[in-house]
Amino acid sequence: MLLASDVWVGALIRRAELAGAFAVVARKGDARAGAVLVKTLDRRKGEARLYAEAVRGDGERVWMQPAPGRDEAELDAYIARAARIDPDLWVVEIEDAEGRHFLIEKVE
């Protein structure tokens, strides 16, 4: 992420809210360089997804799903483990009728 984490998170939340979704910072990390996890909730389907930024072998930055499940409790357990390892971690939760993530970067 090239922007400071707090600026990037603010922009993501703004994009989600402008599109009619509800977004909140569930965990605030380091303002300048904290990693970010994005959890999306699709209440109609009862599904949750988690996205984390990663760097591919060719150096390209992409967003990937580090936990393949769609059970919210499993994703919350993953987030709790990640937060114990990285105290600077941010977690953004987005609840959207269509389950959109609002990431403008490449998602795999």
Question: pLDDT tens digit string along 24-54?
Answer: 999 999 999 999 999 999 989 989 999 999 9
Instruction: Tell me the per-residue pLDDT of 52-107, one tens digit each, with 9 for 90 and over.
Output: 999 888 988 899 999 887 899 999 999 999 999 999 999 999 999 999 999 999 99
Average pLDDT, the chain: 94
Give me the residue spans of the domains in the chain.
Answer: 5-95
Q: What is the pLDDT of residue 105?
A: 92
What is the rounded average pLDDT of the residues 12-16? 98
**Per-residue pLDDT, 1:** 52
Query: 40 - beta bridge partners?
Result: 49, 94
Give the burial string for 44-58 (b: 16+ CB within 10 Å, else e): eeeebbbbbbeeeee
Q: What is the pLDDT of residue 68?
A: 80
- Distance from C-alpha of 74 to C-alpha of 69, rounded to nearest angstrom: 7
| Domain 5-95 bears CATH identifier 3.40.1530.20 | yes
